[in-house]
Every structure is written in C-alpha cells, then in structure tokens.
Chain A
Amino acid sequence: MGIQALDITKRFGAFLALDDVTLEVGSGELTALLGPSGGGKSTLLRIIGGLEEADSGRVVIDGVEATGIPAQRRDVGFVFQHYAAFKHLSVYRNVAFGLEIRKRPKAEIQRRVRELLELVHLEQFADRMPAQLSGGQRQRMALARALAVEPKVLLLDEPFGALDAKVRKELRDWLRRLHDEVHVTTVFVTHDQEEALEVADSLVVINHGRIEQVGSPNELYDHPANDFVMGFLGPVTRLGGHLVRPHDIEVLTADSAGAVPASVQRLVRVGYQVRAELRADAAPATAQVAGPGGGQAGAPGAASVGRPAGAEPDAAAADTAVQLTRGQADALELRVGSRVWLRPAQHASVLTAR
C-alpha cells in the first residue's frame, strides 16, 4: 500500500520541476527525498499532500485514488520547514485543531492531545503560545498536530531545515525513534545527506526533476548509480580517471600495481583526522606490481567534511584529497613534499569520471 505517485509531471511556467516521476513508498516506511534545492523534491511532496496540483500523473495513498482530492480530504499529515504554527492559538489548541475541525467530542480531544503532547515531550507547554517556544519545540508541536488526526501518511518538508545544528541532530534521532513507535508511512524531504543517511529506511535521490536512484542508505552510499548520487551522498575526490571517496584511498609508501604516484601538497589536521591534498605526477602511471595495502578507510560518518576536490571542476583535477586517521598519517610519516602512491581501497566505490 503506502504511497504511489505515478508519472508525475509539473511545470512552473517554463521551469520543469518534475519530469515524469514515478515513486512508490512502502507502507510504514520512513523514506527520505534527497536532493539539491530546486531539484523538485519539495514539489513532489506537496503534490502527494495535495498542496500542489500535478500537470499530469496520479497519486494513490493507501490504495485510494487521491488525484484531484483537495488536501483537506486526503488524510495526510504535513509538517513544514517553518513550522506553520498557528500563532494565535496555544500549543494545546494547535494540536487540537484537526480534531476540532473533525468535531470530535471534547473529552476525546482532550485525551488525544494529552497523549500527543506527551509523545513529543511538550506536556508542560500546553498553555504556551508558539512564540514562547524554541524552534525545535515548535517543530515537535507541528508534528504532534499532524499526528493528532491519525493521518494515513506523514509528509515532512525540510522539517529540520530552519533549526541549528545541535537541535537538528537531536530531532533527527527523535524522529527515528518516533517513527519506530508510531509506524506511520513517512516521507521527508531534505537536502542534507547526513540526515537522510542517518534517519531513513530508504532514500530517493532527486535532481533536476528526475529520480536519480532509489535504495537503502547503504546501497546508495556504497553503490551509487552515477557521479551525482555519489557526490551528493558524501565527499568525492578524483584519482586518475576515477571518482573515489577520500577515505577510500590507500596511501602507499612504495609503488604497487595500479597505484598512482603523487606528492603531498598540503596537510591539514582536524581533530582525529588528517586531510591530505596530493598532486598526481603529470605522466600517467604505468601498471606495476601490486604491494600490500597501507591505509584503512576512515569512518563513513565523517562525511560532513564536505566535498573537497571532487566537487570542483577540472581546474583542480590533478589534485586528490585523501582522508586519513592521525595514526595512519603518523605511520606513513607524511610531510608536505612526501612522495607516495595512491590507489582505491579494496571495497571502495569507484566510478569512472566523466
């Protein structure tokens, strides 16, 4: 069951926001729509929620045709980036809103709102006005409000986008746990790959109005379908004619089969890790005998480092970024100017550069 969005196309004037997109979300799953801003992911979410109408295509929610049905009759919970708190209503009344609209008996409303406020840990804030809450609390209120009407699906549009880094991380964990408790089919939009990798059961990467790849976080990280997905999910650097993650490069002190000779240009230590920028020798390396592996892959969670070299175009093509632990760097005795050989680690995901 879940959600099916079939052959969705949407234009804003001359701009093609969604180009014949088909998406299926399994019942009870937590799915992230991931992509750069302007890529169409929010538009797709809003079309599913009925806040935007597709030019063509169909939406089916829990096996019921939803195309053309206005948002107020879709039974969809929607959470907005800027909370969309009803500023003139207390937290309690905000959460009760959907139930009041449905004319539920007062006692039931009271019980249900209490339950939800407990669920989102806002029980002591029931009488506050939204303006008296922090951003994170407001977003939790918005979630409780959306869940109060027991929607068939929960849609979140960049729910943590307006929050600062620390609160964001807290809410992320909390959303994961909440979903494990409530098990409502959930789709959330984000442009933050770390958020998507950490929270979602499955990822949908969207760019330029098209779906680039669908799969579990690990599948996408380890086997990206193309350089866009690879680059979007984590740092990428160039090695020879290939795209590799900086932590998937082995640094060797001796020549070895398939390794590229290079010299260290820059070394930056950031906490427990060391980032090295290396320049490959001008002449392409010839195949030689293989040697033992030296480097180990850095922690995948360190993806927040950014995309040092791979994201940049050909100007820096010769430079390769490598991420090592401090121990590895020390063992290799890396200095600026050191000569080393580079090759992709054994299980590294490697794409041929365009």
Chain B
Amino acid sequence: MAELSALGSAPPRRRSVRSGQDRLPLGRTSGTGLGLAVLWLSLLVLVPLAAVVSKAAGAGLADFWSAVTTHEALSAIRLTVLAAAAVSLVNAVMGTLIAWVLVRDEFVGKRVLEVLIDLPFALPTIVAGLVLTTLYGPHSPVGVTWYASRPGVLVALLFVTLPFVVRTVEPVLLSLETEAEQAAASLGAGPVRTFVRIVLPAIAPAIASGASLAFGRAMGEYGSVVLISGQLPRTEVASQYIYQQIESGYLPDAAAVATVLLLVSVLVLALLNGLRGWAARRG
C-alpha cells in the first residue's frame, strides 16, 4: 500500500505548487483534531513502545547485554536476521520474475495467479502456518518434511512475504516505456543484455524497496512460524523467543530482545524512506 504505491509508481502529482498555498494553516477544529490524533497515536503506539525500550534500559546495560547474549536469544536473533536476509534475496529474484510474467505475459489462468499472490496478504498468519504444516509437516503427503527445521521456517517466511516485491515492481514495470527496450534490441542487444542494462536499472529501486519491506516483515513474523517450527530452540525466531520470555514472566528479557528487533525495524524504515526519496528523485 503506502510503500507500495509511493515507491512503486510515480510520486503523487501535485497540480499547483504555489509556495505555502497548497496547505492551510491549522484552525480551531483542525487543531483539536490534530491534538486528538497525536494523543491517540501516542497512547496506542508511541507510549507503549517507549515502555518496551524503557523496560529494557531500566534493567541496566549489563543486564540488557546478558539478556540479549544468552545462547537462546543470540541463536533466535541470528536465525531471524539470516532468514530475513535470505527471504529478501529470494523475493528479489522470484518477485521480479513473477512481476515480469504478470506484466509481459498473457496466458490462461493469469487471474488465478494474481489472486494467489494476494492471498498471503489476506490470509491470517496462523492459517498460513497451518496450511504449510499440512503440506510440509509431519504427515506430509508429498514426503517433504520440513517440520521443526530451518527450511520450514524459511518456507513460512517466503509464504507471507510473497506479494511485497511482486506488487512494488509490477506498477513500475507496467509504466516502463518499451521503446527503450526496443531501441536496445535494435542496437543489437540480446534479451538478457537488454534486461540487465535497460530494465533492471529502472526497476532496481522498486526491487530494493520491496525486498526491504519483505525483510522488515520477516524480521517480525510470528504467526506463520509457530506451527511449522515445532517450538524447538534451534528453530525459534526472535518473536517466538520474546513470546516465551513473556509467558515465563521474564519481561525485562523480552523487552531487551524486543528493543534489538525494534532497532532493526527502525533502521529498515529509515532505509525504506531513503529509498523512497531516491526513487522519487530518479522518477
């Protein structure tokens, strides 16, 4: 959505760009509205998140450090970051490929493919986990058992992040003029060369932003992983680890690992914003 459209397609057009006249100063009603909006946002999002960071920091640096460097915590964080990175890479390649097929190819059943790509967005994560466990779990009808294994976690993350790159790259690809490609072809460039030299530079920002969206999502994923990971320490992602700590009543430890994850999220968000600016400048 926001990211998808803002990054994917051209930035919103503004018709009149008279300085200072395209936005109004706040009045009494709008001022009150702003106050309420900020209050609600603070109460719901900002203050609770601050409470997490404060809980983590309140225990002192030494405790924070030992909380995030226990064997289990480190293993969970490492698995999460590595899996998220791997998932972003796979998505960058497969997402671009799928977007290409959706835009440049016509075949019977394309509409079905479209719906299937959107399905992971609309499907509850626990249901995603259940369907994957049914196919790749203990009683797999296809004989592939990824239950309680790292590949299982990876598949779950790939499932929930499937649409990100596809849906960011698609509009850019759609708006791309084919003339440049035809010109390249007329100059003797083969299809691979044309793609690498002409198309790829144009869609690279969209791929990057889609991949970083997928990264952020994979970093925080919980629901789809719960069933397939088998709840073993070896296959536990950071969110699961935090949940275990909450359930066991170790709130400071949970807060400490959560703070590390939040930090990564903020970094991803900053990166995303940078990319958005970069894409807007180029577009």
Contact = CB atoms under 8 A, between A and B. Distances in A.
**A–B contact at 8 Å CB threshold (below):** yes
A12 to B, nearest CB: 3
A52 B16 contact: no
Interface in A32-85: 38, 42-43, 46, 52-53, 81-82
Nearest to A162: B15
A313 interface: no
Nearest to B19: A12
Contacts of A42: 18, 21
B109 interface: no
A284 interface: no
B20 interface: yes
B20 A82 contact: no
Contacts of A46: 21
Nearest to B15: A82
B16 A43 contact: no
A12 B16 contact: no
B21 A82 contact: no
A46 B25 CA distance: 14
Interface string B1-31: 0000000000000011011110001000000
Contacts, number: 18
Q: How many interface residues does chain A have, given as a range?
A: 10 to 19
B20 A13 contact: yes
A15 interface: yes
A52 B21 contact: yes
B239 to A, nearest CB: 44
B20 A12 contact: yes
A43 B21 CA distance: 8
B16 A82 contact: yes
B15 to A, nearest CB: 6
Interface in A249-302: none
Contacts of A13: 20
Contacts of B20: 12-13, 15, 17
Q: Is the interface of B mostly helix, strand, loop or mixed?
A: loop
A82 B13 CA distance: 14
Contacts of A38: 18-19
B15 A12 contact: no
Contacts of B18: 38, 42
A20 B92 CA distance: 59
Contacts of A15: 19-20
Interface in A1-23: 12-13, 15, 17
A37 B20 CA distance: 14
A78 to B, nearest CB: 14
Nearest to A81: B16
A161 to B, nearest CB: 10
Nearest to B25: A53
A83 to B, nearest CB: 11
Contacts of A81: 16
Contacts of A82: 15-16
A81 B17 CA distance: 13
Nearest to A46: B21
B65 to A, nearest CB: 47
B12 to A, nearest CB: 15
B17 to A, nearest CB: 10
A94 B250 CA distance: 63
A337 B15 CA distance: 49
A244 B21 CA distance: 37
B54 to A, nearest CB: 37
A81 B22 CA distance: 14
Contacts of B19: 12, 15, 38
A11 to B, nearest CB: 9
Interface in A119-172: none
A53 B20 CA distance: 12
A15 B19 CA distance: 9
A82 B19 CA distance: 17
A17 B25 CA distance: 16
A38 B19 CA distance: 8
Interface in A205-223: none
A77 B191 CA distance: 59
A184 B45 CA distance: 55
B30 to A, nearest CB: 13
Nearest to B20: A12
A52 B18 CA distance: 13
Contacts of A43: 21
A53 B25 CA distance: 10
A12 B22 CA distance: 11
Nearest to B18: A42
A41 to B, nearest CB: 11
A282 to B, nearest CB: 45
Contacts of A17: 20
Contacts of B25: 53
A38 B18 CA distance: 8
B50 to A, nearest CB: 32
A15 B18 CA distance: 12
A82 B20 CA distance: 18
A52 B23 CA distance: 11
18 contacts: A12-B19, A12-B20, A12-B21, A13-B20, A15-B19, A15-B20, A17-B20, A38-B18, A38-B19, A42-B18, A42-B21, A43-B21, A46-B21, A52-B21, A53-B25, A81-B16, A82-B15, A82-B16
Given A12-B21, A15-B20, 9 more contacts: A12-B19, A12-B20, A17-B20, A38-B18, A38-B19, A42-B18, A52-B21, A81-B16, A82-B15
Interface of B: 15-16, 18-21, 25
Interface of A: 12-13, 15, 17, 38, 42-43, 46, 52-53, 81-82
